[in-house]
Structure 1
Amino acid sequence: MSNVQEGEVAIIGAGPVGLFAVFELGMLKITAHVIDALDGPGGQCSALYPEKPIYDIPAHPEIMAADLIGKLTEQATPFAPVYHYGQQVVGLEQQTDGRWLLETSKGTRLLVKAVMIAGGVGAFGPNRPPLAGIECYENAGPGLGVRYMVTQRENYRGKRIVIAGGGDSAVDWALSLAELAEKVYVVHRRPKFRAAPESVARLNQLAEQGSVVEMVIPYQLRGLQGDGSLLEAVIVADLAGNERRLDADVLLPFFGLSMNLGPIADWGLALEHGHITVTPETCQTNLQGVYAIGDIADYPGKLKLILCGFSEAAMAAHAIRSQLHPDEELHWEYSTTKGVPGE
């Protein structure tokens, strides 16, 4: 096949469970490609609540979601995963030799021996506001154009930022980026926010103090101005249709994620209420060589917890090793004994 990258395992989803699966596979000397519709790792942890604490991760009485993703990415790094961000898997087809051919929305084609679906609640991506030409600004440089998540906070230093939305992500990032941005406009269609009251109070206080934060309420996004690649301004309109121009380097629209199975629903998987049915011992689906872990996987007694997803990643990794090397006995070693590459 031409223009096809070959590998051992493809992991669909770069959330916490998908990232930990890279580690578990790597400890078994299995390499992985990781595909995610978002433009960086972390899934919901990064896109929805990066600065919110998580309390049920073992050995961490409290850890910020973004910090958890950072640690998981660091843990996966020694195993050299190949990441394919900003693209959704739109096709999955088994070949005559038993391998699986995946194709993404950007035309990437992967031929692998096993597939691990770790897509959280499904194939999801950011809710894109209906603005003419918005796609042209989505591929601008770091901290520029239209971005749906913040992966490197420092990229926004000195920038003029428009944040749209009324949830925790919008408010949390407005507070965080106000520390280093030239200007932060917070655009929301009504005075009431859905974020934590303490955070909203802090944001309003910053705005009242005449800091870099300005509350643009009640307004909604109306349009974008620029040269088709470099954003110059965001046009907003109030409820009466009166427009205002906000000079901006970047627009961060935080309108949540569109969550549905998407193309996954057409792959012949056994589904139950929008989840993929798996065998608990191996996390294998009804398709040979295709596994599902994390929130998207379902079996009797399933608990939708990150730590359960971590366990499923380990079980699926071991099942995949048995699939890839059926004649090789696994000589079990704990990580304290074998270490990781580079140590």
Structure 2
Amino acid sequence: MQTDALVIGAGPVGLFQAFQLGLLGLSVQIVDALPQAGGQCIELYADKPILDIPGILECSGRELTERLLAQLAPLAPGWHLGHEVTRLARRDDGRFDAACADGTAFDAGAVFICAGVGAFQPRRLKAPGLEGLEGRHLHYHPATDPAALDCFAGQRVLVIGGDEAALVRAAALAERPGQPPVQLMHRRDVLQADATLLTRIDALRQAGHLVFHAAQLASARQDEAGRLLQVDITLSDGGLRTLDLDTLIVCQGLSPRLGPIADWGLAMDRKLLVADPATFETSAPGIHAAGDIVSYPGKKKLILCGFHEATLAAHAAHERLRPHERGPLLYTSSSTLLQQRLGRHG
């Protein structure tokens, strides 16, 4: 698909990058390896307080993501979540061909890498019998919005993990009307989350909507149609227990990796992309970068710095892609054009 800008990464900086590009009238497609927007804010500190966003006294990672998505919504970017850009090549005409592993392809005028510390990849579960189940009966860090969880309605589910990511998903499923009791398993009888979430989990256990196991997965069995049938778990006392299941949800943590970005021929400094602080263009003209993945003199890994970087990157790309539109800087407080783009005028 043809687009003015391809944004790689849907964390806070990637979302604001897309907003700034859309505000300038550029079409945008967004790709992220995770199944939902928010990046680290959602996966690592969704419910923890963030206190250094200008003008916002306090918000959680989830709230910040929701605010950024609401701000971006009127500009209607294209979304490609749960995908990773594996190939990027510059064409002779200065545009870029990019593609994801599933074959989704882009023809982009400019590329913006807002990949934080890299693409988050889930830590895979290793046990006999899991072969061929991923994406059907084995899911890693599925999105937590109600629509995404609908596919597990009425199923016998085992959630594996002991931190906030696992507990949020287990609680959301266990609270659904008519859902069979959700099984939650962690290798230790210690769960790590804020007090509110732990209280919520305890209440679900007391009500019989959630069953906890201090155990580890030993093996799994499939039926002749390749559907998950049973799993064996090894309890902390060495005993073995068998669970009848339809679905395994695994939240054992995410590991960031640079992945294909390292093969795109861009100048790097200690696994970070070197960028010009005036335009946030990398060593390859037309490829910009913003956020934690960027290196330049004086760089600070703060969200607000990423917003600044994304703004300058967007304006630099706009000048290159639409040179005939160059003019005085417009402000949302006074520009009818910008207000129209945001659905606030006429």
Instruction: Verify same fold: TM over 0.5.
Output: yes
Is residue 300 of structure 1 aligned with residue 297 of structure 2? yes
Amino acid at match of 2:300: L
Report if aligned partners of 1:47, 1:149 keep a CA contact under 8 Å in 2.
Answer: no
Corresponding residue for 1:184?
182
Displacement of 1:200 after TM fit?
Answer: 4.3
Q: How far, CA to CA, are the matches of 2:43 and 2:323 in structure 1?
A: 39
Q: Supply the distance in 1 between the matched residues of 2:70 and 2:225 (Cα, whole angstroms).
A: 36
Could you tell me which amino acid in structure 2 is paired with residue 342 of structure 1? Answer: G
TM-score after normalising by structure 2: 0.85
Q: Deviations over 1:198-240 (max 9, x none)?
A: 7546645653x35312111133363364676765554433368
TM-superposed CA distance for 1:97, in Å, is: 0.9
Quote how far apart the aligned CAs of 1:12 are.
Answer: 0.6
Query: What SS does the corresponding residue of 2:20 show, helix, strand or coil?
Result: helix
The amino acid that maps onto 2:66 is G
Deviations 1:95-131 (A, max 9, x none): 1111111111111121111100001101222223235
RMSD (Å), alpha carbons: 2.7
After superposition, the C-alpha distances for 1:253-312 in whole angstroms (9 at most, x for unaligned) are 111212111111111111111111111121111110001111111112212111221121
Aligned residue pair count: 335
**Compared with structure 1, are the counterparts of its residues 43 and 221 closer, same or farther at alpha carbon in structure 2 (3 Å cutoff)?**
farther
Aligned partner (choices 53, 58, 65) of residue 49 of structure 2: 53
Secondary structure of the corresponding residue to residue 208 of structure 2: coil
Q: 5+ residue gaps in structure 2?
A: none
What's the TM-score, normalizing by structure 1? 0.86
The range that moved more, 267-276 or 71-80, is 71-80
Provide closer, same or farther for how the CA distance between residues 96 and 199 of structure 1 changes in structure 2, counting only shifts above 3 A. Answer: same
The whole-number CA distance in structure 2 between the counterparts of 1:188 and 1:26 is: 43
Please say if residues 158 and 184 of structure 2, whose CA atoms lie closer than 8 Å, have aligned partners that are also in contact. Answer: yes
Query: CA distance change for structure 1 residues 69 and 233 in 2, over 3 Å: closer, same or farther?
Result: farther
Aligned to 1:269: 266
Distance, in Å, in 2 between the alignment partners of 1:228 and 1:131 is: 19
Unaligned runs of 5+ in 1: none
The amino acid that maps onto 2:307 is: F
Contact 2:119 2:257 in 1 (8 A): yes
Identity across the alignment (%) = 38
1:255 is aligned to 2:252: yes
Aligned position for 1:13: 9
1:342 alignment partner in structure 2: 343
